[in-house]
Every structure is written in structure tokens, then in C-alpha cells.
């Protein structure tokens, strides 16, 4: 039984009709046989109806053409054995239709076992080269969204456009975001290769500036962001209130552990599986095929009726039913293919990933309903952070809407103490505190000082009692911007003798010359 493993569907501008699309598929197939199969004289014309002669044993290649008025569909069916496993057979079905100024393209890939052998299949594939070439040479559209087989580079001026795209109800494709490391090194996954392999089924966006990832985090929240060498799949339907677990995050440390090639294949497999599950045939193409088949049957009926054979009276009575049955059969075939893909997705999810693909996940549900709840959770987890009563009280009063970001900042402070202590033991110096913050991505959001004017005018607001004396808590992390719902600050000092980050304030931004 064949299993659908890949499905894409898109439109291209049809300035030259479907000729350019068919030419790309012709070139793809001919090069396969002339190059890989060593058949230098092989040729193939997609618009010549019938089975192709001269293909190797166990290969099959055929074309069908359906015409209904000005609308035309060409269907290519091509199957062949797997190069590395004779027990597997690959099957491509391509349908290309001309509809006004658009050309619809569908490409399905199924794989089936042709012998009984209980052994895993090692399936390594991306979008077919023909799909990649079409999406590179010609404007391709999923609905009204234009896609290409290249990565998009996110710039500062494009941040709002990315946010609009991610949250748009019209988006039909996943967006894969590749972030740089906090110190500026690029993500280890090759964005160009990933974009080519996901052509037609996903959009790849690369970020080169680490500071931009924090601007992005300010907009969507830390739990839904992507930073420090990570990759994330943002599925259609994303919003700032989405469950983070619904948009899978691949940590930079995990990508380093398994290697960028394995990480990229994992992302690709996840998207291919969902694309196959969610595939729905292009109704325009299906209708042309159905109408053309019905017209051909009607033509045959007329020819046969002219012979006077009484049998054709019965045939004519049943013909009307046949059209309905055929339509229902087409719907059932699509539904069956989706159910098989669905089974594959859920079996894969239930069985768990191989060890090489496993990545650590939090054992608890890191979702907080308030800043106070996030601070309490951090206080329990962090041995190197001391939360003063003033910080706990400020947290209780804070309306900040992204409490997880507070939790993450406090746990990062906890880790900084560990790193500082380790550096002091190994190198004699713990290092610069601001650099430790930068290493964790807080460089743009943190400072060791407040301005002289703020210190002179609002000093009392920054003083908190610690160890029996009033101290000035200048070092701070600022998260977000704007009103208290979207902006919060954490003020702390570092007690190097006790190896404690002492937090005096968590919540509403303290007053300064700008407020």
C-alpha cells in the first residue's frame, strides 16, 4: 500500500501558459535518465499522451492531457525503485493546469513496499528539483502569499512585516526561523539548503543580527521567540497567545549535539509529514479532469449508440450515476491518502524520536499566570538568586503580560553566578558581569548603571535594604517597552562573597527622566 510522504500545491504566473512549467518537469525527468540512468538518447514530452517507451525495467512513465474549453491539465505519472533499497518504490504524480493568468501545480510523492521485509526505510529527500527550479525562476503563490526556494533575511525594518506574516489568517505555510547565537555566530543549519529542500511547503527566514532576535522576543514573548542558535517552526494559526509547544523549538545546543544535517532533516520531516496530512487536491484541476473524462465517455456513447446496439440504452441510463460515483471516489481517494498520512504522523509521534533526534524538554509546564507566580517559581529553582521582599511585592502588583520572560531572566542570573564562580576558580577572575549578560542575549536589554540625572532625582526608588543597609540597585534588565503591561524591569546587585544575585525589584519600570 502506497503511503503519501510529500505533497505540495501552488500557483505560478502563467505568462507563457503551462509551457514553462512542463518544460521544467521535462528537463528534470530527462536529466534523470540521461545522467543517473546512463540513457543518453532518452527523451520525454509531457504533452504526448500515453506510456513512455524505453524506460528501464520496473520504471514507468506516462502522460495524460485533459482539455475542457480554455482550461487544460497535464498529468504526469512516474515511478521507479529506490536506488538504495530494491524493496521500495517511489511514485510521483504531477498535475499542472492552466487557469487564466495562473498555472496550478500539484506534486505528490508516495512510497510503497514491493516486498515483505521488516526493516526501517531510510528516507532522505527534499522538495523535487523541478519544484525548486519553478519556485526559483517563476513567482510562485500559495493563495496570495508569494514563496521562493531561497531564505529570506530578516532586517530591522522588516520585523513588523514578519510579525504581520506570522499572525496572518491568510498564511498557509509554516515559517522556519533560524536565529544566530548571542555572540553573533550564525545558526549552524544552512538556510539556503533548507529553503531549497522545503520549496513549496515552507518559508525559511534567517536572522543574522542577535540583537534583532531580542526585538522579536519583545514582540512575541520569550517563550514563543527563537534565539541563541535555535530554529523554530511557526505553523499557520500562530498568535502571541499560542501554546509554545505547538510551535516546535529546536535548541541551539541540540543542533550542535546532533549536527546541522540531522537537525535540518528533522525539521524537513516534520513539515513534509504535516504537508502530506493536510494536502487537499486543487479543485480546479480535479474538475477539469472530471469534465474531460465525462465528455470522452459521452463521445464514446454517441459513437456506440449509432451502431444501434440495445446495450447502449442501459449504458446511457447508468452514465449519469457514474459521474457522481467517480467524484465520490476521487474524494475518498484523497481522504484515504490523508488518513494514511495522518496515521504516519501520529504513529511517529507516539513511538518517539530516535536517540539522535531527542532533545531535552522541560519536565514541568513553564506557563505562568502572573509575574508573582514566575518569581516564586524562580525562587524555588535558583539557588544563587535571592528575592527580597520588595521584589516580591512589586511582582505582586505588576500587570506585565509575559511572566515567562521574567522567569527566564532570573534563571539566567542564576546561571551567571555559576559561570562567574567557575571562571574565578579556573582563571582567577569571574569576568565582567555585563559580558555574562551579553553572552545570554541580554546585552541590549541590560545595563550596570542608571543615569546620573536619574540617580540624583529618583535615587530613593532604586535603594533597597539588604543585609541591614540601604544599597543602590543600579544593575538592571529591561524587558519590553511601553506601559506596565508590556514593559518590566529587574534591578539587582551581585554579592560576590555570598555568590548571590540579590533582586530588589521585579515589575513596573522604575521612574527615570523619561517617565
Q: What is the DSSP string of 109-167?
A: EEEEESS-----------S-HHHHHHHHHS-EEETTEEE-SSPEEE-GGGHHHHHHHHH
How many Å apart are CA 66 and CA 78, to the nearest integer? 18
pLDDT in tens, 385-400: 999 999 999 999 999 9
pLDDT in tens, 87-124: 889 999 999 998 888 899 999 999 988 888 777 766 66
- Return all residues near 398 (Cβ < 8 A) that are at least 6 apart: 370, 371, 372, 484, 488, 506, 507, 508
Residue 424: left if φ>0, alpha if ψ -120 to 50, beta else—which one? alpha
pLDDT of 491 above 80 = yes
CA distances from 166 to 145, 148, 422, 483 (A): 12, 17, 41, 24
pLDDT in tens, 122-134: 666 778 999 999 9
How many Å apart are CA 184 and CA 202, to the nearest integer? 25
How many Å apart are CA 313 and CA 225, to the nearest integer? 68
Tell me the average pLDDT across 357-361.
Answer: 45
* Burial profile 207-222: b = 16 or more Cβ within 10 angstroms, e = fewer: bbebbbbbbbbbbbbb
pLDDT of 508 above 90 = yes
Q: Which of 201-205, 240-244, 395-399 has the lowest mean pLDDT?
A: 240-244
Cβ proximity of 242 and 224 under 8 Å:
yes
Residue 417: left if φ>0, alpha if ψ -120 to 50, beta else—which one? alpha
DSSP 193: H
How many Å apart are CA 451 and CA 308, to the nearest integer? 102
Cβ proximity of 506 and 371 under 8 Å:
yes
pLDDT of 353 above 50 = no
Q: Strands across the sheet with 71-81, in order?
A: 50-51, 60-68, 71-81, 88-99, 102-113, 3-13, 140-142, 145-147
CB neighbourhood size of 112 (10 A): 13
pLDDT of 288 above 50 = yes
pLDDT of 372 above 90 = yes
Tell me the range of 242-251, 313-322, 341-350, 390-399 where mean pLDDT is highest.
Answer: 390-399
pLDDT mean across residues, the chain: 86
The whole-model pTM stands at 0.71
pLDDT for the residue 122: 67
CA distances from 492 to 33, 200, 219, 332, 466 (A): 68, 49, 24, 63, 11
Pairwise pLDDT comparison (200 vs 331), residue with the higher score: 200
Tell me the average pLDDT across 427-442.
Answer: 88
Cβ proximity of 1 and 338 under 8 Å:
no
How many degrees, rounded to 5, is the angle at CA 85 between CA 80 and CA 89?
30
Q: How far apart are the first and last CA of the chain?
A: 68
How many Å apart are CA 402 and CA 366, to the nearest integer? 12
pLDDT for the residue 357: 45
DSSP 477: E
CB neighbourhood size of 230 (10 A): 22
Q: How would you class 380 by CB atoms within 10 Å of its CB: exposed for 0-12, middle for 13-18, buried for 19 or more?
A: exposed
CB neighbourhood size of 196 (10 A): 21
Amino acid at each position: 500500500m502506497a503511503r503519501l510522504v510529500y505533497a505540495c500545491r501552488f500557483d505560478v504566473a502563467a505568462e507563457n501558459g503551462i509551457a514553462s512549467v512542463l518544460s521544467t518537469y521535462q528537463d528534470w525527468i530527462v536529466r534523470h535518465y540521461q545522467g543517473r540512468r546512463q540513457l543518453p538518447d532518452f527523451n520525454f514530452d509531457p504533452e504526448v499522451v500515453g506510456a513512455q517507451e524505453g524506460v528501464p525495467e520496473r520504471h514507468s512513465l506516462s502522460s495524460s492531457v485533459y482539455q475542457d474549453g480554455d482550461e487544460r491539465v497535464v498529468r504526469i505519472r512516474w515511478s521507479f525503485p529506490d536506488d538504495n533499497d530494491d524493496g521500495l518504490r517511489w511514485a510521483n504524480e504531477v498535475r499542472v493546469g492552466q487557469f487564466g493568468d495562473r498555472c496550478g501545480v500539484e506534486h505528490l510523492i508516495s512510497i510503497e513496499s514491493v516486498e515483505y521485509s521488516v526493516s526501517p526505510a531510510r528516507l532522505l529527500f527534499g522538495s523535487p528539483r523541478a519544484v525548486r527550479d519553478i519556485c526559483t525562476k517563476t513567482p510562485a503563490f500559495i493563495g496570495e502569499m508569494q514563496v521562493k526556494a531561497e531564505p529570506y533575511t530578516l532586517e530591522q525594518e522588516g520585523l513588523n512585516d514578519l510579525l504581520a506574516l506570522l499572525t496572518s489568517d491568510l498564511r498557509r505555510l509554516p515559517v522556519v526561523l533560524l536565529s544566530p547565537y548571542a555572540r553573533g555566530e550564525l545558526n549552524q543549519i544552512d538556510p539556503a539548503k533548507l529553503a531549497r529542500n522545503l520549496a513549496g511547503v515552507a518559508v525559511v527566514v534567517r536572522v543574522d543580527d542577535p540583537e534583532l532576535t531580542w526585538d522579536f522576543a519583545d514582540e512575541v514573548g520569550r517563550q514563543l521567540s527563537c534565539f541563541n542558535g535555535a530554529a523554530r517552526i511557526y505553523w499557520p494559526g500562530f498568535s502571541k497567545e499560542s501554546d509554545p509547544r505547538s510551535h516546535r523549538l529546536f535548541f541551539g545546543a541540540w543542533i550542535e549535539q546532533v549536527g546541522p544535517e540531522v537537525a535540518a532533516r528533522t525539521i524537513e520531516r516534520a513539515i513534509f509529514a504535516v504537508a502530506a496530512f493536510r494536502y487537499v487536491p486543487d479543485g480546479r484541476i480535479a474538475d477539469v479532469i472530471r469534465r474531460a473524462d465525462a465528455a470522452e465517455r459521452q463521445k464514446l456513447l454517441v459513437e456506440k449508440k449509432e451502431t444501434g446496439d440495445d446495450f447502449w440504452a442501459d449504458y446511457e441510463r447508468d452514465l449519469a450515476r457514474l459521474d457522481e460515483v467517480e467524484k465520490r471516489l476521487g474524494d475518498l481517494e484523497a481522504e484515504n491518502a490523508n488518513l494514511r498520512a495522518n496515521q504516519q504522523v501520529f504513529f511517529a509521534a507516539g513511538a518517539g524520536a530516535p536517540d539522535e533526534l531527542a532533545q531535552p524538554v522541560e519536565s514541568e509546564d513553564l506557563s505562568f499566570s502572573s509575574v508573582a507566580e514566575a518569581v516564586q517559581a524562580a525562587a524555588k529553582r535558583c539557588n544563587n538568586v535571592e528575592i527580597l521582599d520588595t521584589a516580591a511585592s512589586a511582582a505582586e502588583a505588576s500587570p506585565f503580560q509575559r511572566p515567562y520572560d521574567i522567569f527566564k531572566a532570573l534563571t539566567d542570573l542564576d546561571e551567571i553566578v555559576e559561570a562567574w564562580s567557575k571562571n574565578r576558580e579556573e582563571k582567577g577572575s569571574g569576568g565582567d558581569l555585563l559580558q555574562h549578560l551579553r553572552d545570554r542575549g541580554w546585552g541590549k536589554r541590560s545595563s550596570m548603571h542608571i543615569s546620573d540625572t536619574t540617580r540624583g532625582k529618583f535615587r530613593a526608588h532604586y535603594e533597597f535594604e539588604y543585609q541591614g543597609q540601604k544599597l543602590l540597585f543600579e544593575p538592571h534588565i529591561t524587558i519590553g517597552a511601553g506601559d506596565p503591561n508590556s514593559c518590566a524591569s529587574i534591578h539587582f546587585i551581585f554579592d560576590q562573597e555570598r555568590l548571590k544575585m540579590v533582586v530588589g525589584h521585579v515589575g513596573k519600570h522604575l521612574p527615570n527622566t523619561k517617565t
